[in-house]
Amino acid sequence: MHASAKVQVAPVVAERRPGSADLHAEKLLPAPASPVKPSAVPTATNVSISPEKSPVIRKEANPPTAGEAAEERYRKALTLIRKDRENQARPLLEEAIELSPGHVAARETLAALLSDAGQNQEAEAVLRAGRALNPDHAWFALSLARLQAARGDTEGAAATLQSGMGARGVNAEYHATLAALLVRLKQYPDAARQYEQALGLQPVQGTWWMGLGLAMEGQGKSDEARSAYRRALTAGNLPDKLAEFVRAKLVD
């Protein structure tokens, strides 16, 4: 999931919008009551009986809760985004978060809008607040780490991902993004372990095999590195420039 990815609208019910290939490319969510029997009517003559009027029941609508109001704004924002009217959607998302700070989907979507507009500092603030409120939500850590990496804070990005490793939603992409950062930091054994976890979940990612090759090479494990490079090529989905890079590695 990219420092400034095109907005991926989060699903309506926290429906879950970011691979790590961009990191490599640089180098590499009751029955009615029985009717009452009327009382006996007097038999006197000329008695006029007026039927009782049914009581008027007035229903008063309850005002929406903060959560309902936030959801309403979020849905309106999604409609605007689908019409390419992001500038009108953003204030609605901000209102949704103000009304319900724990609204994950609204926060995710706002962060993506800000990042797409190049407002990474503001996007980071939205994501950091999201992490504080929802520390078990891995998407916030992954997106925050990408923004940190984009501004050159590789150590901070890696630390963000490592601190969120036990969160719900840690997936292959999460492991591979951390692995790529660890390669940059020359922490090759840890990088290799993260790539192996990522590839165990998605074994056909050529870019990740290339990254594993770099991590093995960095440890002086040339045979393991060459094997990983071969797997990168046979995956068949490496970009041309990376495929050329890997072929050169195999020739050496």
User: Residue 163 in contact with residue 141, Cβ under 8 Å?
Assistant: yes
Residues 204 and 93 in one domain: no
User: Which of 170, 200, 220 is at the close of a domain?
Assistant: 170
Q: Output the pLDDT for position 63.
A: 85
User: Which of 170, 189, 210 is at the close of a domain?
Assistant: 170
Residues 127 and 198 in one domain: no
> Residue 216 has which token pair?
């093995």
Residues 200 and 241 in one domain: yes
Q: Output the pLDDT for position 19.
A: 40
In a domain, 242, yes or no: yes
> Residue 240 has which token pair?
């041309």
Residue numbers of the domain that contains 221 = 171-252
Residues 146 and 74 in one domain: yes
Residues 163 and 213 in one domain: no
Dihedrals phi, psi of 20, to nearest 5 degrees:
-85, 10
> 3-class DSSP state for residue 247?
helix
Q: Output the pLDDT for position 252.
A: 75
Q: Output the pLDDT for position 53.
A: 58
Between CA 195 and CA 222 the distance in angstroms is 17
Q: Output the pLDDT for position 52.
A: 57
Q: Output the pLDDT for position 62.
A: 82
In a domain, 55, yes or no: no
Alpha-carbon distance values, 99 to 11, 93, 106, 131, 248 (Å): 19, 10, 11, 18, 55
User: Residue 120 in contact with residue 150, Cβ under 8 Å?
Assistant: yes
Residues 188 and 213 in one domain: yes
> Residue 132 has which token pair?
């504080």
In a domain, 180, yes or no: yes
Structural domain count, the chain? 2
Averaged in consecutive runs of 10 residues, what is the pLDDT profile of the chain (252 residues)?
43 38 45 35 43 60 89 97 96 96 95 95 96 94 96 97 94 98 98 98 97 98 97 95 96 83
- Category of 50 on φ-ψ map: left (φ > 0), alpha (ψ -120 to 50) or beta: beta
